Each structure stands twice: as C-alpha cells, then as structure tokens.
Structure 1
Amino acid sequence: MHFNRIISNYILYTLLVFCVIPFVLLLYFSFIDIVRDKITFSLNSFTELFSPIRLTELRTITFRAILVSLFSTIFSFIISYFLFRGASKRFQTIFLVLITIPLLINESVRVFSWQLMLSENGLFNSILSSILETEISIFNGSNFSNVIFVMLISIIPFGIFINTASLNITPKVYWKVSKDIGLKPLPTFLKVALPISKISITITFIISFFLAFSLSSEVNFLGGDSKISIRNLVLSFMSSGHFSAIFLLGSILTFLILFFSIVVKLYLKNKKKKS
C-alpha cells in the first residue's frame, strides 16, 4: 500500500513538471513583450491573435479540423467494429501493424509520395481513367479534397487503435445477449455497439481534432491555393516579431487539451461510481 502511494505521488509530480509548469510558462510569456531589453506587461498578443485576418485563418483551420475529425471518427469506428466482429485477434494485430507503417515513414517522403499519387496525372486519376475509359481529374494539385483525403488517411489509424481497444475490453455478455434475443447486425451496431462506445468515440473525435488542427505539411504541399495551416500562422507571427501571440495560441490549445482530459476523466469517474 505504501509502495502504491509512492508510485502515485511520483506520477503526480511528473505530470506537474511536464504539464502544469510548461502551461504556466506559456501563460506568462503570453502577457509580456520585450522592448529594448526590458520586459513589460502587454496585451498585444490578444490584439494580434484575434485580429480579423488571424481569426479568418483560425476559422479555416478549425473548420477543416472539425470536418476531418468528424469523418475520421465515423470511418474509424465502423472499421474497428467490423474488425472486432469479423476478424481474429491475430488478423487484428497484423492489420493494426500494417496501418501503422505509413505513419513511421519520413514526413517529407510521405507527403511527396501523396503528391505523386494525387497529382492531375498521378496514380489515382490514371487508375480511375483506365477503369472508366475516360479522362478523370478528381484529384489535382490545387484541390481541397486532396488535403482532406490525406489528413483522413493520416488520422484514421489513431481512431482505429482507440476504438478497437475499447471494443476488445467490452464485456462479452453484451454480444451474447444481443445474439440470444436475435438482433440483426444493424440493430446490434446501433443499439449495442454505439451506446457502449460513447467514450471511445468521444476520445477519438477529440484526438482527431487536435491532430487535424496541427497537421501542416499536408496542407502546405497538397493544398494548392488554400495553404492556410497552423505552421504558416506561427511562422507569420515569428516573421512579424509577435512571439507572445504564439505563446497565447499555445496556451489556448494546452488549456483545451487539459479541459477535455479532465471532463472525460470526471465522466468516467462518475460512471464508475454509478455502476
């Protein structure tokens, strides 16, 4: 018991060092400016970050992140469900390893490969043109769908990991009861799988949102005319010398991550008490 308390305290102090202290420093640097080697309190970071131009950029990035996280959550859960219900444990493991391999490839190589496949004369358009026997140009260098498609491919594996793990630890009695009462596949999916997977679906959406919000290479190299990304936003702040705006943006994102983490943890704790 004493040993468990020591471990718990160690974990708590580790979280304090790696989460709380950096967050406090981010907040501190969000409200200061250095003028002639003097540190002064300032709200210029708010003025710069929430200016009309920056708000437009943030709105574009946020909308794209919500769109990607919504679709990735839906697709990843459906894939996870069929993987859980129709595949053996061995196949699930092999499948999860295979979808992880592309994520381990160097980012530049990965994005360049997508450029070749999604260009106007690329692999995907060539295959579609051969099948349909007509000129097809669904994918091209300045197509917004290129960005969404690649972001989905990059993020869906994370959702599959989360949902597959959640379904695998679900008590088997749920599936046994649904089988005993003669529920068909669709009602089983809607009345059993979805309700018991609310937490994993919510977590998938939250993680997918922050991943999509931060992905930049896919936007910069595949976005064509719409190269609005979080990296470009940060670089523009750096080039104009508004470093406090960068810290403010980091503070807001860190706060949101901590907020959602606490909400999910409290929900799980409350649910455990009720059960």
Structure 2
Amino acid sequence: MKRFSKLAVPYIIWAALMLVLPMALIAMYSVMEPGNSIISFSLTLDHYIKFFTDPDFLLILWRSLLIAIKTTIICLILGYPAAYFIARSSEKVQNILILCITIPMWINMLVRTYAWIGLLSEGGIIQRILGIFGLGDVELLYTEGSVLLGMVYNFLPFMILQIQTSLSKMDHSLLEASADLGASPAQTFRRVTLPLSLPGVINGITLVFLPAVSSFFIPKLLGGGQYFLIGNMIENQFITVGEWNFGSAISMIMAVIMMLLMMLVRKIETRNQGGKGAKA
C-alpha cells in the first residue's frame, strides 16, 4: 500500500500549485490594502466591511442566490421525470438517450450560450414562432427570463445524469416486492423510488447550484449587462475597475458560502443515509 501511495505525489503537487496556491493568493489579496508591496504590506478587513455594509452589493448577492435557486428548482422539476424515463427504458434506449443529453455538452458552453442569442434576438426563430400567435413584440433577450433559460439549458444535463445514475443502481426487486405487498405505483414511488434516488438528487442540486450562483458569462451574454450577478461583479472588479483586493474579498466570500452550502448538502445526505440504515 505504501508503494502505491507514492503515485499520489504528482497529484498532491498539482493540487498545491493549481488549487491551494491561487486560493492562498486570493485570500492574501483580500486582506491587503491597495498598493502594498510584497516586502511590506498592512492587513485590513475594509474590503469585507465594504461588501457587507453596501446594500447594492448585498442586493447583487441576493439576486445571484435567488436565480441559482430558481435554476436548481427548474432543473429538478424537468430533470427528475427525464431521468426516471431514461432509467426505466431498455439498456439500448438508455444509451441513446444519454448520448443525446451528453452530445451538446461536447460543445463549449460559451458557444452554446451564443447560439441562444440568435434564437432569442429580435427576428430570431423563437420570436417568429411567437409572432404567429400575436406575441412577436414580447422581449425575449436581455431579461431575467433569458438568463434563467440559459442557465437551465446549460446545467440541466448535470441534474439528469446524476439522478439517472442513482435510479439505474436501484434494486428493481424492491419495486416488485412493493407491488406484491399491495402498494400502488404512487406509494411505491414515494416510499421506495424517491428515497433511493435522493443521493442523485442531492448531487444534482450541488452540481447545478454551485456553478449557477457564480456564473458570469451567461448573465453577461443573455442579460446584456443589464442583469448583474455576483460573478459579473467579481469579473468587473478584476478586469474593468482594477480593484483586485476588493474582487478577491468578494471571491473569498463566495468561496465560503459555497463551502458552507456543500457542507450542508453533505450533512443532509449523511443524515438521510443514516435514517435508511436505521430503518433497515
């Protein structure tokens, strides 16, 4: 075992250089005053105080969390039935359907988002279709709805694949036993299928919510700069304004929020598994 443990050394070095070191630099910048030199610098919490005392920044944070929650809920509502249908299909059909879901993911997410600009823009296909029903004047692009649509489109496959994996691993003899005991299909789903699929649901929620809350190019492209989220704010601080210290502080705040949410999700998953073990 000790001999094989040496194989992890390259990964540890890579993780230290690519993950730990950048995060350490961001954390250092977040508590430094602008203009400090590497040799001599003073620490400050003014950047964090600035964020939490400005209502505009808190509003942007709340808006980002809200649209991430909406994205996650919509992906769950759309993704669970799709995953359930795929899991109940034959193996051949499952492979075809999973391939249909994963093929668009082979294309860069930025390119796929640009495609939605053409579909939603004035004179685009969707607006022409709406024009048939007399709704051609409806504004589709550069709205909260267009941003939400772009996020759901890009992150929905993560929800479907996670839930489908959990449902495929489920022991189907449990469903037969439930039916033999007189349970209706609805009761079987509520008491057997749904509890067993919760690990996939929780993983899907994690994979959708975390990138949605920090996304910046989807709101920038489909929101047209009119729908400003926390990811756009961080990008703006680094690239446009040049306030790296304040941008680093916002990045650290988001990192802490994400870690806390991940810990909460994992705690719920552990509690759920413990509950199932107790019932068994």
- Separation in 1 of the partners of 2:269 and 2:60? 35
Q: Deviations over 1:116-171 (max 9, x none)?
A: 211243212323444x4x34455522332111112111111011111111111122
1:186 aligns with 2:189: no
8 Å contact kept, 2:202–2:269: no
Spell out, residue by residue over 1:156-200, the C-alpha distance to the aligned partner (whole angstroms, 9 max, x if none).
101111111111112233222233235444333322222122222
- The C-alpha deviation readout for 1:69-100, integer Å capped at 9, x for no partner, is 12112221221112112x12222222222222
Aligned-residue identity in percent: 23
Amino acid at match of 2:250: L
Unaligned runs of 5+ in 1: none
**Map of 2:118 onto structure 1:** 116
Q: Paired residues, what number?
A: 271
5 Å-filtered alignment, 1:55-134, equals: 55-85=58-88, 87-130=89-132, 132=133, 134=134
In the alignment, which residue of structure 2 is the partner of 1:173?
173
The alignment yields a C-alpha RMSD, in angstroms, of: 3.1
SS of 2:171 mapped into structure 1: coil
- Using the alignment, how far apart are the partners of 1:76 and 1:30 within structure 2? 38
User: Offset at 1:260?
Assistant: 4.5
Query: Hey, what's the Cα distance between the residues in 2 that align with 1:115 and 1:100?
Result: 22
Change over 3 Å in CA distance of 1:260–1:7 after alignment to 2: farther
20-29 or 154-163, larger mean C-alpha shift: 20-29
Q: Mean Cα displacement is larger for which, 213-222 or 223-232?
A: 223-232
Deviation per CA, 1:196-236, whole angstroms, max 9, x where unpaired?
22222122222211111122222122225732033420233
Partner of 2:200: 200
Which residue of structure 1 lines up, in the alignment, with residue 56 of structure 2?
53
Query: Does 1 or 2 have the higher relative contact order (CA < 8 Å, sep 6+)?
Result: 1
Unmatched tracts of structure 2, length 5 or more: none
**1:216 equivalent in structure 2:** 216
| SS of equivalent residue, structure 1 residue 33 | coil
The match for 1:44 is 46
Instruction: Indicate conservation of the 8 Å contact 1:142/1:223, yes or no.
Output: yes
- Alpha-carbon distance in structure 1 between the residues aligned to 2:101 and 2:10: 32
For residues 269 and 7 of structure 1, the distance between their equivalents in structure 2, rounded to whole angstroms, comes to 31
TM-score by length of 2: 0.81
Q: 1:52 is aligned with what amino acid?
A: P
Residue aligning to 2:235: 235
